[in-house]
Amino acid sequence: MTDWDGVRAPDATEIESMARAAMATLPAQFAGHAQDVAIRVAEFAPDEMLDELQIDDPFELTGLYDGIPVTEKSVADQPGGPDIVWLFRRPLLDEWASRGDVTLGELIGHVVTHELAHHFGWSDDDIARIDRWWE
């Protein structure tokens, strides 16, 4: 049995470090485009983001890509800021604890990869055809 005395949950900085480690393992053909994507960690998604996605329970959203996919970008685009992969710390920790079959680093790596797939223009249906993670 694990002794949990003195053990604390990873903070936002540690979650971001795990995300950056996952990005460092991307194949070369994706790594260049991914390096321009910022990583942001928040405790939960903001209410306006949840409302826009029609999500009632903030624990249901572990990550989100916020930007213009590379397949839709134009030289005429005037970016308002960098593309961002958002990670939501509390939902990630909750999913990790409830799954019990993956490390936190594996879960974060998977969420980052999923959100970066949106950066590359993949839809959720495209991703689901090759990724059976949540089945």
Per-residue pLDDT tens for 60-97? 999 999 988 878 777 666 667 789 999 999 999 999 99
Residue 134 has pLDDT above 70, yes or no: no
How confident is the model at residue 20, as a pLDDT?
A: 92
Q: Please, which pLDDT band fits residue 6 given cuts at 50, 70 and 90?
A: confident
Classify residue 36: in a domain, yes or no.
Answer: yes
- pLDDT of 133 > 70? The answer is no
Q: Does residue 6 fall inside a structural domain?
A: no
Q: Which domain holds residue 96?
A: 12-67+81-130
Please tell me which residue, 36 or 48, carries the higher pLDDT value: 48
- Within a domain: 19: yes
Q: Is residue 95 part of a domain?
A: yes
pLDDT in tens, 89-123: 999 999 999 988 899 999 999 899 889 888 878 77
Output the 3-class SS for 21-81: HHHCCCCHHHHHHHCCCEEEEECCCCHHHHHHCCCCCHHHCCEEEECCCCCCCCCCCCCCC
The strand pairing partners of 42, in sequence order, are: 88
Q: What is the pLDDT of residue 1?
A: 59
- Within a domain: residue 72? no
Structural domain includes residue 73 = no
Residue 20 counted as domain residue? yes
CATH classification of the domain holding 114: 3.30.2010.20
* Average predicted confidence (pLDDT) for the chain: 86
| Contact between residue 104 and residue 92 where contact means Cβ atoms under 8 Å apart | yes
Number of domains in the chain: 1
Determine the pLDDT at residue 53: 95
Q: pTM of the full predicted structure?
A: 0.86
pLDDT at residue 124 in the model:
75
Q: For 27, what's the count of Cα atoms within 13 Å in the CB-facing half-sphere?
A: 2
Average pLDDT over residues 31-59: 92
